[in-house]
Each structure stands twice: as C-alpha cells, then as structure tokens.
Amino acid sequence: MEKRRLSLIHNAYIVFLKDLHVEFRSRYAVNAIFLFAITTLTAISFSIGPIRLRSEILSPLLWIILFFSSMSGLAHIFVREEEQQTADTLRLLTTPNSIFLGKWFFNVILLFSLEVLIVPVYLAMMGVQVNSPGSFLLIIIIGSIGIASVATLIAAIISQASAKGALLAVLSFPISLPVLISGIHGTQLAMDGSTFAETLSDLQILFSFSIVIITLSLLLFEFIWRK
C-alpha cells in the first residue's frame, strides 16, 4: 500500500517533468497564455486611459484576464497528447491518476508563472493600490489553484471531443464561478485594505472548492481517460 502511494506521486512528478521538458522545447502553451494576458491587459489599460478605477472594477478585471488567459493556455497539456498521438503511449505507461496529477501540477505552475509577470504589471499599469498585500497574495494563489484545477479537469474531457475550440471556456465557466465570485470579492477587500478575518470566508470557499475539485478529479479522471 505504501509503495503504491509513493509511486503515484513519483510517477506524477515524472509526467510533470516530461511535460515541462516538452513545453520548454515548443513553448506553445506558454506563448498562448502569456500573449493572451498581455494583449488583454494592454487593451484594457489603453481603453481606460488615465481614469482611476475603484477596486470594485479593478478586481473583476484582473480575474477576467486570469480566467481567460487560463482558457487559452491550460487545455494544451491534454489536447497536445491527443493531437500528437502520444496519448495512447502515455496510457500504457502509468496509472490515470499519476497522469492527471502530473498535468494538474503543470497547469498550476504555468498559471503561477503567468501571474508572477502579469499581476505586478497589472498593478503598475492600472495604478492599483493594494492595502492588504498578504491577503491579496493568498487569495490570488488559492484562487489560481482553483481555476487551474477546473481547467485541467475540463481540458481532459474536451481533449476527447472533436470540436475543441471554444468548449473549454463554455464548460469551465459555470464550474469556475465559485472561484471567480469569491476571488473577485476577496481581492476587492484586499485592495481596499481589510483584515485577514474579513477575507477569511472567501479564502475558506476557495480552499474547500479546490479540495473538492481535486478529489472529484481523482475519482472521475479514470472514467475520462480510459476509452
């Protein structure tokens, strides 16, 4: 029993490393997600111009950028395997959950690396003042795990469909709403300057949602992955 559990994480890590390696060579998903985020941010900043916005608007704008950037880049990890016909190869190498966890981790890292760039740029370009940086950071981190988890699960589903394009956003949006709503609300509070206690309820929802989605994914992924 012990040996099998270790091998789940171990194999997931190997899948992650492989995906990182392949992505490093082709940079497809990285390009998609970064370019989308930068383009959207530029468009927003340009259109708003010098007008200073309130946190009630700045918060949703940030999450819109993050969500739709995720939609551009996070499906690649599964779609690529199917399109390049390496999916069956992978199916014969290790258990479904190892594959899922490896790819989930990839998407989380991908989204985090986007945010390392785009969030500071956003704050600078839009002239945002974050009065509770600790809460702000925590909300973004846990919320991103939520978005990446939903996107990974839905990406697995649509990689088996034919017309993949818009499907990821259409399917992910209703499921991601708890993350978006709590994330937007919490981020706004953090921008205005709130105590940790005030953002706690949002954090609780974000955290429990991520746990639920990841657990559900581990239960359901085998059904998705096996034909």
Q: Which of 107, 182, 194, 199 binds other proteins (CB under 8 A)?
A: 182
**Shortest Å distance, C-beta 129 to other proteins:** 20
- The answer to whether 57 and 174 are in contact (CB under 8 A) is no
| 3-class secondary structure, 50 | coil
Residue 41 makes contact with other proteins by CB under 8 A = no
Q: Which of 117, 95, 105, 116 is nearest to 19 (CA)?
A: 105
Max CA separation in the chain (angstroms): 61
Number of residues forming the site for other proteins (CB under 8 A)? 53
Let me know: does 28 contact 76? Beta carbons within 8 Å: yes
Q: Does 224 bind other proteins (CB under 8 A)?
A: yes
Question: Applying CB under 8 A, does 175 fall inside the site for other proteins?
Answer: yes
The one-character DSSP state at 190 is: H
Answer for which of 26, 113, 129, 131 binds other proteins (CB under 8 A) is 26
Q: Does 193 contact other proteins by CB under 8 A?
A: no
Does 205 sit near other proteins (CB under 8 A)? yes
Using CB under 8 A, pick the residue from 21, 47, 50, 51 that binds other proteins.
Answer: 21
Does the footprint of other proteins cover residue 9 (CB under 8 A)? no
Instruction: Indicate whether 22 belongs to the interface with other proteins (CB under 8 A).
Output: yes
Q: Does 85 bind other proteins (CB under 8 A)?
A: yes
* Contact assessment for residue 67 and residue 140, using Cβ atoms and an 8 Å cutoff: no
State yes or no: residue 70 binds other proteins (CB under 8 A). no
Nearest to 163 by CA among 52, 79, 88: 79
At its nearest, how many Å lie between other proteins and the CB of residue 32?
16
Element (H, E) at 165: none
Residue 157 binding other proteins, by CB under 8 A: yes
CB 102 within 8 A of CB 13: yes
**Minimal CA–CA distance to 29: which of 73, 64, 87, 61?**
73
Binding status of residue 76 toward other proteins by CB under 8 A: no
* Helices and strands, counts by H and E, the chain: 9, 0
Dihedral sign from CA coordinates of 189, 108, 83, 218? negative
> Which of residues 35, 177, 200, 211 is near other proteins by CB under 8 A?
177
Binding site for other proteins (CB under 8 A): 7, 11, 14-15, 17-18, 21-22, 25-26, 56, 84-86, 88-89, 91-95, 153-154, 157-158, 160-164, 167, 170-171, 173-175, 177-178, 181-182, 185, 188, 205, 208-209, 212-213, 216, 220, 223-224, 226-227
